[in-house]
Chain A
Amino acid sequence: MSDLANTPVAALLELASSQLEVAAHTTDAQVQTLANSIAALVTLGAELKAASGTGSAPGALARKIVEEAQSALVAMQFHDQLVQRVAHVRDALTELNEALAGSPAAQVDWATVLAGIRFRYSMEDERMLFDRIIGDTACPDVNEHDSTHDSLRGSVELF
């Protein structure tokens, strides 16, 4: 391990672990929303069926169904983000492996390796986590960090 002293290898492994933890935590919350929405859709569908038998107007139920379906649709999109996060962790570990395979750790151009890993990120909270761990190896509060950029999600900007 002495060969790895004074290199960012430990921080990079900690970063990979934290990125995966963010991915898992985010997915848990969204899968729960998805499960709740699907459960609500089943219930509303049954209520709609019952209401149609009595001839009462199903408008309110239909609106609720649309709302639940939209909520499920938003939650479902986090699968796409999960896939991206995991792919970025995989790429970072591959780069780390290749860097260490080519030359002794002390001779690796770490600045280039780190820049390459950060460049691959597409989400702002991935970059923030990278900056916090690689810039400061203190253990981050993953849950707090994940909510930092919630305001950017779903934003629209017309040019």
Chain B
Amino acid sequence: MTRMIMTVDDSTSMRQMVKATLLSAGYGVVEAADGQEALEYARENPVDLVITDVNMPRMDGITLVSELRSLPTYRLTPLLLLTTESSMEKKMEGKKAGATGWLVKPFNPAQLLATLARVL
């Protein structure tokens, strides 16, 4: 069965880059433009993994991770933050919210796929 991954980013081009990488490896992909949209979709449609940006309008990525972790369906789901943000404080915020990992943009496609293989 195809694993379904959600990519969350307010940048359309970034979502396209992530989507192209995931599709090339045979994953199914669903997109959301911010945390709120992602949360609303994920509540009704469970996904196998979430890759989210941090700084987004309406709901940021760290809040999204925290909200998803509070749902029983997402207690063990890998939740990855993919961001330009590399400060230790933000990283610790992400970890505290329940993120599985922290990836700094720009991502390397091969490295992203290797990371997914490790956490799925």
A124 near B106: Cβ-Cβ < 8 Å? no
A73 near B85: Cβ-Cβ < 8 Å? no
B86 near A154: Cβ-Cβ < 8 Å? no
Q: Given B17, B91, B109, which contacts A157 in the complex, CB threshold below 8 Å?
A: B91
Partner-binding segment picked from B37-45, B67-75, B110-118: B110-118
B83 within 8 A of A: yes
A77 within 8 A of B: yes
A137 within 8 A of B: no
Number of A residues with CB within 8 Å of any CB on chain B? 25
What does the 1/0 interface line of A127-159 toward B look like (CB < 8 Å)?
Answer: 100000000000000000000010011111111
Partner-binding segment picked from A7-15, A38-46, A50-58, A80-88: A80-88
A79 within 8 A of B: yes
Interface residues on B, range: 20 to 34
B13 near A122: Cβ-Cβ < 8 Å? no
Q: What residues on A are CB-neighbors of B87 within 8 Å? A: 124, 127
Q: What residues on B are CB-neighbors of A79 within 8 Å? A: 13
Q: Given A70, A78, A149, A152, which contacts B108 in the complex, CB threshold below 8 Å?
A: A70
Known: A159-B99, A159-B101. A152 touches B86 (CB 8 A): yes
A99 within 8 A of B: no
B86 near A80: Cβ-Cβ < 8 Å? no
B104 within 8 A of A: yes
Q: Which chain B residues in 84-109 approach chain A with CB under 8 Å?
A: 84-87, 91, 94-95, 99-109
| Nearest 9 interchain pairs by C-beta | A77-B106, A158-B101, A152-B86, A122-B85, A124-B86, A70-B109, A159-B95, A157-B102, A155-B104
